[in-house]
Structure 1
Amino acid sequence: MKGILGLLRHKSQPGPGEEQLDSTLFTTAFADHGLDTSLLVPWEARAVEVGASRLNPGRGTKLLQGLWAKDKYMRQLNDEAIGRMEHFLDFATVQANRDIIRQDEYGNFMVVLLSGSIAIDRVQPWGERLRLAEAAPGEILGEMSLLDSGMRFSSCTTLNDCEIAILSAEAMDEMLSTDPALAASLIALLARKLSLRLRVVSARLSDKK
């Protein structure tokens, strides 16, 4: 984490005679893949599609603080740090049976489930819809596409009315520019959780051999 933080500090501080440059690391990542940006589904478009309503940021932040305080990894972000995150997050309520993320689309946002439950499904090549998991409050969804601008691996559908927090690529870039210490901590924790998830999958595959 210190290495990441050092890099961010170096990038965010202009040298003598240089102007401050805004970070666009996450915002431009999708375009850097050489893909048609019309394929991108941002949260603003999905929110309209699913009829999301605005959630009070104060309530959303309190829910997030309580949930992440119980998480083995995310509790490293204390209440003060999560309070600073409120500026960069959108908070919404989504009704049941709404796809907030769809398999094989390109998205530039991640979601944190604050209340309710979300089904994580993947349609197999032969057409079967496989239930991979059901996300509980506190879990993060879609972070892989936020980090690498790749296609969504699965669909995430609300099973009941859900409250969620959303972090977009634009907001991530703003965090990198204005609060690099917070951004570095969040990115490191997301990477750690992704690594753990991959290790679990690898272990399952090894058991089947």
Structure 2
Amino acid sequence: MPDPTSLNNEIRDMLMDCGLFDQLLPPDFQTAAGYFSISTIAQGEEIFHEGDAGTFMCIIHSGQVSVRKTDPDEHQVEIATLRKGRAFGEMAVLDGERRSASCVAASDCQLLNLGKDSLEKMLNETPKVAAKIIRALAVALSRRLRMLDGQRLSQQV
């Protein structure tokens, strides 16, 4: 069985490496690491399905993830490929809605996972660190939305 301290340190290092949480201080990373877990997903494996309840979110440590939506003819269409450092699945965890897309491992992946209940626990036990995590996710979502708005605008011109 792996040593919990070394696992916690590995998760801490992965969180520091992902680039999402620049506002966190070194002790914040150590604290947050206790609420995340690591999973290894094989290429082709579905991580979650469009319409599922959003019980967890992920951050890509290595590998690539294909984001797919079902079109009106019931075919899955790839809408994005996500790489190292990208969070996904966070919308459903934050807003409680169902998954807006399916995510499939486009290559072998190592992911950091944060369950909805772990986020709740973090909010209760270490609210300042949880607030920094949530703020970082909100900023990342906001950037993506602004980028999409910019793309839409340039397509209309």
> By the TM > 0.5 criterion, same fold?
yes
**Structure 2 CA distance for aligned equivalents of residues 178 and 109 of structure 1:** 19
Within-5 A mapping of 1:133-148: 133-148=80-95
**Structure 1 CA distance for aligned equivalents of residues 123 and 15 of structure 2:** 20
Quick check: 2:63–2:106 contact (8 Å CA) kept in 1? yes
Quick one: which amino acid aligns to residue 62 of structure 1?
D
**Structure 1 CA distance for aligned equivalents of residues 131 and 11 of structure 2:** 22
2:120 counterpart of 1:173: yes
Given the alignment, which residue of 14, 19, 23 partners 1:63?
Answer: 14
* Cα shift readout 1:13-52 (whole Å, capped 9, x = no counterpart): xxxxxxxxxxxxxxxxxxxxxxxxxxxxxxxxxxxxxxxx
Unaligned segments of structure 2, at least 5 residues: 1-6
2:104 counterpart of 1:104: no
* Cα shift readout 1:90-134 (whole Å, capped 9, x = no counterpart): 111111111112112212211111111111111212334322221
* Cα shift readout 1:157-206 (whole Å, capped 9, x = no counterpart): 11222111111111111111110100111111111211121122222222
Higher Cα radius of gyration = 1
Once superposed, which parts of structure 1, at least 4 consecutive aligned residues long, lie more than 4 Å away? none
Cα displacement (A) at 1:57 = 4.1
**Structure 2 CA distance for aligned equivalents of residues 118 and 101 of structure 1:** 11
2:154 counterpart of 1:154: no
% same residue: 25
Quick one: which amino acid aligns to residue 137 of structure 1?
K
Question: Which SS does the other structure have where 2:57 is aligned?
Answer: strand
Unaligned segments of structure 1, at least 5 residues: 1-55
Quick check: 1:65–1:78 contact (8 Å CA) kept in 2? no
**Structure 2 CA distance for aligned equivalents of residues 161 and 128 of structure 1:** 24
Within-5 A mapping of 1:1-209: 56-68=7-19, 71=20, 74-209=21-156
Question: Which SS does the other structure have where 1:75 is aligned?
Answer: coil
Question: Which SS does the other structure have where 1:145 is aligned?
Answer: helix
**Structure 1 CA distance for aligned equivalents of residues 77 and 26 of structure 2:** 37
Quick check: 1:89–1:165 contact (8 Å CA) kept in 2? yes
- TM-score when normalising by structure 2: 0.86
